[in-house]
Amino acid sequence: MKFLAILYDSFREAVDGWVIYVTLGASTLFIVLIACIGYEPVSAEKAFESITRRFQIVYANRNRSTMQRQFLFGLHFQAAEVKALTAAKRPQEADYQVRLVIEERDRNGPFLPFGPMPVQPQRAQEDESKDKKSVLRDVVSFWASSGERDDTGLKPDEVDERLTLDFVRDLFEFHGNVKVTKVERLASNHDRHEFLVTTQGEKGVRGWLHEPTFLFGALTVPIELSLGMLVYIIQDRIINGVGAWVALLVGVLLTASFIPNMMRKGAIDLIIAKPIRRVSLLVYKYVGGLTFVFINTAYAVTGVWLVTGLRSGVWSNGFLLTIFAITFYFAILYAVSLLLGVLSRNTIVAIMGTIAFWFALWLAGSIYEAVDVFRREPSTRDRIPSWVYRAVDTVNTVLPRTKDLDKLTSKLVVQDTLGEGDKRQLKLDTLTWPSWSEVLSVSGIYICVMLGLAAWRFSTRDY
Amino acid sequence: MSVIETVDLRKLYRRIEALKGVSLRVERGEIYGLLGQNGAGKSTLVKILLGIVWRTSGKATLLGQPVGNSSARQRVGYLPEDHQFPGYHSAESLLHFYGRLYGMSRQDRNRRIPEMLQLVGLTGRAKSKIRTYSKGMKQRLGLAQAMFHDPDLIILDEPTDGVDPVGRREIRTIMQQLKDQGKTIFLNSHLLGEVELVCDRVGILQRGEMIREGDIATLTRQKGLFVIGLADGEILPIEELQRLGFSVSRVGVHWEIGLHDGQTIDTVVDWLRAKGLRLRHLVEKRQTLEDLFVATVDAAEPGVDVPRRNREQHLLAGRQGR
């Protein structure tokens, strides 16, 4: 009863201002805008043409490396012929046979590196005297290499037919999210290679390329992305990314005044004189603030989930769990805001302090991530002194894991939206996800400490 | 069991001793007035009773339970001085909120809210936001919320502050009704005239110490001082009475007779009759609570505020001279 009374009072306080109406209005507008977006599957011809255009990008370590990649102009890929093997209502459900033509146009490059220069092109120049140079073999050799600096990889001579066919299969699976059942070489000469690739249709639509339309089909945007990727961009990058930050910021601004207002002279006497323990009062106020953000987030996320599901057919249930993740994120910030509010009894101090703390967490998480990238790569591991690793590890251990929480909420969206190829392209398949239990427990302890300090101060001081 | 009891209650704010061993008892059904100058420790005492301020030492109970215990406040209503109700509430929603905190059922709340708002004259503004209320209306609402859950003890800090004379009389009537219902009222007020009208007992705090306490009739009585009046045209023979040992002075159309040890007013009455004078007026002289308060405070702390008072008198004299 008392809990509900405080909860309802906090809600009244929140809805008293215009900010919540603006927030809900903005959420509604956003939901309507996303509802206006349609997703049109592209034809098989167009899909395979678009997919083969992307074959220009090759990553080392069988398209798994994060550090090494190349843009190749030496090869030209073309889906010369696309034949449906089975009839299907939707293009993604049919089996196809694609004749892939690879032409070697410029054996001497240019190879445009992005990242450290790979070893393969240099080796190709060494082999030039033997007149055995093949750009395709170079690229396959690079694709099969580990991507490490000191890895000389396979010599182009060692690239056999099986590896080349695996390479072609991987190109389709990596860039096109399609399941390849068979790859065979049709014809080949020094400059031209032809392969026949058989793909299997899928009931799911996530991996197939779609074009987004706006205003219920009135406007088509010439972007061909898999349906899963389009939904992922909306749900993760826009809602869970920008939207969550806005929701958290609004939440901080709106709830920061709850405690200072309650502790104003003349107001605090009234509430403390009621038969409620001070600690309970503070905790109920805290939960009241969380409830406000929960309702706001639930409204926006559920709305977006509903309209994207209805319009795209992709029902990413994991996206709904971001409601709790964003609320938990806010719980960390609000615990700080609460403590600052109790200590200073000033709304501005609570807001500024919380935002500064939020920035500090983001900075600490970003530094940890950047340093961790160096640590994971054997070639760069020793470039940073060990005390730096120890320092960032210590800071990461004691601070709430907001950056990890960001990653985990992304994971919730990723698992229900992206196809395997998309996950590989975004390097999400090799990403080491933080553990939920670790993130929740460390952050939870932090919340408890903040609340404990605030409760202690609130309970012991005179008003 | 006393409704309020404090024994040697002390409160130290860092170096400042706000309460220096205050002991008092307030019994059920009493209206008790706590008087004192600004900074005397009245609000500190009330706040300790309500768990808003923690005591440094001593003992204090509220309705038999130690103060600071949240359940002790279940049967207490409180109107603080300079209160600030949340502006986003209306009178109705505020009473619902407070009622929930007191554990009142919705049925009870729905029954009590119109009653209370009618009692304090806020029925017409029940749904208006509090931020639109005048100071007097907020004060009436404060009184309503203090009585709302039918408490046994009501603590009122300056309840008539900002209220017009008619409203003040209404509040006094409400307090009297509450007393008739057996409620205990603990009143802090600077308006000594009002305190005198409604309180049964008062205590005077001075610099954290209880310097005087008792029922109003006893405290304001001036022992051995009577005022007499005679029939029209008759004159009191002052000098003869003075020769008999009484102190006599003329006050308007009456005379003030001072008795000394062993003397009674009956002697004077008999003497007047023997002289053939007709007695028309005889009362034992009382002082006002304000007189008592000023005299007590000055006696306890002679010289307090004297420089300021002198300055004010000089300023006043200067203005009159111009």
Q: What is the pLDDT of residue B309?
A: 52
Cβ-defined contact of A273 to B93 (cutoff 8 Å): no
Q: What is the pLDDT of residue A132?
A: 54
Give dist(CA A231, CA A311) in Å, integer. Answer: 10
- Please, what sign has the CA dihedral across residues A316, A320, A321, A327? positive
- Whole-number mean pLDDT of chain A? 85
pLDDT digits over A403-452, tens only?
Answer: 888 888 888 888 888 888 888 888 787 777 888 898 899 999 999 999 99
- The backbone torsions φ and ψ at residue B58, rounded to the nearest 5 degrees and listed phi first, read 95, 180
Cβ-defined contact of B53 to A463 (cutoff 8 Å): yes
Q: What is the pLDDT of residue A414?
A: 86
> Looking at the predicted structure, is the pLDDT value of residue A12 above 80?
yes
Give dist(CA A88, CA A213) in Å, integer. Answer: 23
Extended beta strands in A15-95, E state: 38-41, 57-59, 69-72, 75-84
- CA separation, residue A394 to residues A365, A423, B209 (Å): 12, 31, 56
- What's the number of CA atoms in the CB half-sphere (13 Å) around residue A45? 3
> Looking at the predicted structure, is the pLDDT value of residue A116 above 50?
no
By Cβ distance, the residue of A2, A9, A275 closest to B73 is A275
Asked if B73 has any chain A CB less than 8 Å from its own CB, the reply is yes
pTM for the whole structure: 0.79
Give dist(CA B21, CA B198) in Å, integer. Answer: 27
By Cβ distance, the residue of A264, A265, A277 closest to B70 is A277
Best B16, B44, B52, B73 residue to mutate vs chain A (most A CBs within 10 Å):
B52
- CA separation, residue A436 to residues A75, A293, B68 (Å): 44, 21, 41
Asked if B13 has any chain A CB less than 8 Å from its own CB, the reply is yes
Residue A110: asked if its preceding bond is cis (omega within 30°), the reply is: yes
Ranges under pLDDT 50 in chain B:
306, 321-322
Determine the distance in angstroms separating the CA of A285 from the nearest CA of chain B, rounded to an integer: 13
Give dist(CA A245, CA A239) in Å, integer. Answer: 9
Determine the distance in angstroms separating the CA of B305 from the nearest CA of chain A, rounded to an integer: 28
> Looking at the predicted structure, is the pLDDT value of residue A130 above 50?
no
Residues of B with Cβ-Cβ distance to A266 under 8 angstroms:
80, 82-84
Q: What is the pLDDT of residue A127?
A: 47
Residue of chain B whose alpha carbon sits nearest to that of A271: B98
Residues of A with Cβ-Cβ distance to B54 under 8 angstroms:
460, 462
pLDDT digits over A54-94, tens only?
Answer: 888 888 888 877 655 565 567 888 998 999 999 888 888 89
ipTM of the complex: 0.78
Give chain A's largest Cα–Cα span.
Answer: 94
| A347-376 and A244-255 helices, crossing angle to 10° | 150
Q: Quickly state the pLDDT bin for A108 (edges 50, 70, 90).
A: low
Strands B221-230 and B209-215, by their bridges, are unpaired
Asked if A385 has any chain B CB less than 8 Å from its own CB, the reply is no
- CA separation, residue A122 to residues A58, A152, B192, B213, B313 (Å): 17, 11, 102, 104, 105
DSSP B301: S
pLDDT digits over A320-329, tens only?
Answer: 999 999 999 9
> Looking at the predicted structure, is the pLDDT value of residue A289 above 50?
yes
